[in-house]
Amino acid sequence: MSRKSELSKLSDDHLARPPDEVFDIICKIGRGSYGSVFKALHKESGQMLAIKQVPVLQDLQEIIKEISIMQQCDSPYIVKYYGSYFKEKDLWIVMEYCGAGSVSDIMRQRRKVLTEGEIATILSYALKGLEYLHQRGKIHRDIKAGNILLNTEGHAKLADFGVAGQLTDTMAKRNTVIGTPYWMAPELIQEIGYDCLADIWSLGITALEMAEGKPPYGEVHPMRAIFMIPTKPPPSFRDPDNWSPEFIDFVSQCLIKNPQQRTNAADLLKHEFVKNAQPCSTLQKMINEARELQLMQQSERDNEDEDMEEEDEVDGGTMVHKSSSDTVPADPGTVADTMIINPTAEDTMIRNNTALTSLNADLNTMVINKNDSDDNTAKPPAFLSHFEKQDAQKRENKAKDTTSKYDMSKENSGEIFSQSLDGNFDSLNTLTYEQLQARLKRIEPEMEREIEELNRRYEAKRAPIIQAIEAKKRRLQNF
């Protein structure tokens, strides 16, 4: 169906009608904060839109905040908001559709990182979006490649305002820990108060993500990364020789740990690296390549589905097969076409014949300490409980899987394990290659459990000391 007219917003008549009469849902294309995202056709105009369907049982206040911030934005560098509906138990949020997908999706689809020229173009658009937000006292708080969307012309737009915040004249800084761990600014993690410059840090991390395939510390557990970000020096390129001095300087200005010294969006737009950025047409080759790969892989999946159906007719046994329609972009917060094939931690991206392991896609945006008020009472780090719950769920899921991928006698495994604890690793030479691989895979969850136990012991010792300090403070105040 050809487009009849450009839709600027949904009319009162459209908003008063059931959404099924206004839109045709085409397919599910991803997940954003708080809900699933669908590609939909606006029947009257013929325009493609994105609709986020949010269960109303979720935190309605947070959802309303997202809508409010999107309503207030009118910029070509921000995903446009058209209106919203209530349908049964879901809230439908109607937004601009970006047909090329997110930058993260395109990288994963092509199995390639971006060139310096492509990165410069995308960053120039993202900075204009951030400048628009920051001039209006708004903080995005979740800048990453998965939340920068491209339309088919190559225009980059900031998306997913599910965790965005508003600064007022009476609130110069916020204290809520919100964002995706690897992209978080140090001051945000430390809960010492932060402002719009936290987005600039995240943009610098996003630049490294586009250049190297994953953010710094992407190979470690997110809880460890959160401890490392405030304590380690600012991250930089793994191989600086591959990049221009201008790009390296741009990233270093974004990743200054002291936010008061960090360069703001308006000044970064004047940086030589951004000033020399090419127009969005330079992204067309990248977008077209990703689209061709998507169509090719979709065709292969369709053929596999047909083969499976034929096998089903012959084989009367039970088979579980995941339909391609269930595949969604793995990067949370993406309003984009499905442009990936079962992404896992084993996926690789290629630059100059160098394999780069991509970040494990099972990573969600954190929203912690919703109440911005500070009662001056020292608390344990808020993010610990988030990851403890996440890890407990992972262990529970693993416990349900009783299928072992390797075989080792109880006597032999117990003996070798005890010897390893004693520091005697000679017996490892007696293991097969498969057994050594299995042992290596066990180390990471064991380390996570040890970190959790260490944190619990730390908090158990710390809590009574903090309580005693607070009691002393209260007595002094009363005196």
The string over 200-214, giving b where at least 16 C-beta atoms fall within 10 Å of a residue's C-beta and e elsewhere, is bbbbbbbbbbbbbbb
Write out the two tokens for 346.
């084993």
Average pLDDT across the chain, whole number: 75
Residue 75 has pLDDT above 70, yes or no: yes
- The hierarchical CATH code for the domain 12-96 is 3.30.200.20
Find, among 472, 452, 470, the residue nearest to 379 by Cα. Answer: 470
Res 318: pLDDT: 34
pLDDT digits (tens, 9 = 90+) for 355-378: 444 455 445 555 444 444 444 434
User: Hey, what long-range contacts does 18-21 have (CB within 8 A, 24 or more apart)?
Assistant: 18/85, 18/87, 19/51, 19/85, 19/87, 19/92, 20/87
Res 438: pLDDT: 83
Res 299: pLDDT: 79
- The more confidently predicted of residues 405 and 391 is 391
Res 123: pLDDT: 98
Average pLDDT over residues 126-155: 93
Average pLDDT over residues 296-316: 66
- Residue 191: pLDDT band with limits 50, 70, 90: confident
Q: Can you give the pTM of this predicted structure?
A: 0.65
Most confident of 86-100, 296-310, 412-426: 86-100
* Top-tier CATH class for 98-304+324-372: mainly alpha
Average pLDDT over residues 158-175: 50
The burial of 293, by beta-carbon neighbours within 10 Å (0-12 exposed, 13-18 middle, 19 or more buried), is given as middle
Output the known binding site.
52
Write out the two tokens for 202.
């995240």
- Residue 157: pLDDT band with limits 50, 70, 90: very high
Report the C-alpha dihedral over residues 19, 22, 23, 24, rounded to 10 degrees: 110
Q: Is 27 helix (H, G, I), strand (E, B) or coil?
A: strand
Least confident of 12-26, 39-53, 207-221, 250-264: 12-26
Find, among 143, 221, 218, the residue nearest to 184 by Cα. Answer: 143
- Residue 322: pLDDT band with limits 50, 70, 90: very low
Res 308: pLDDT: 65
Q: Per-domain residue ranges for the chain?
A: 12-96, 98-304+324-372, 382-478
- Give me the half-sphere count of Cα atoms (radius 13 Å) on the Cβ side of residue 119: 26
Positions marked catalytic: 142
DSSP strand pairing (348-351 vs 177-179): unpaired
Residue 121 has pLDDT above 80, yes or no: yes
Q: Do the first three CATH levels of 12-96 and 98-304+324-372 match, i.e. the same topology?
A: no
Output the known binding site for ATP.
52
Res 361: pLDDT: 44
DSSP codes, 343-395: --TT-EEEETTEEEEPPPS----EEE-------S-----THHHHHHHHHHHHH
Average pLDDT over residues 35-46: 88
CA distance 37 to 27: 9
pLDDT digits (tens, 9 = 90+) for 257-292: 999 999 999 999 999 999 999 999 999 999 999 999
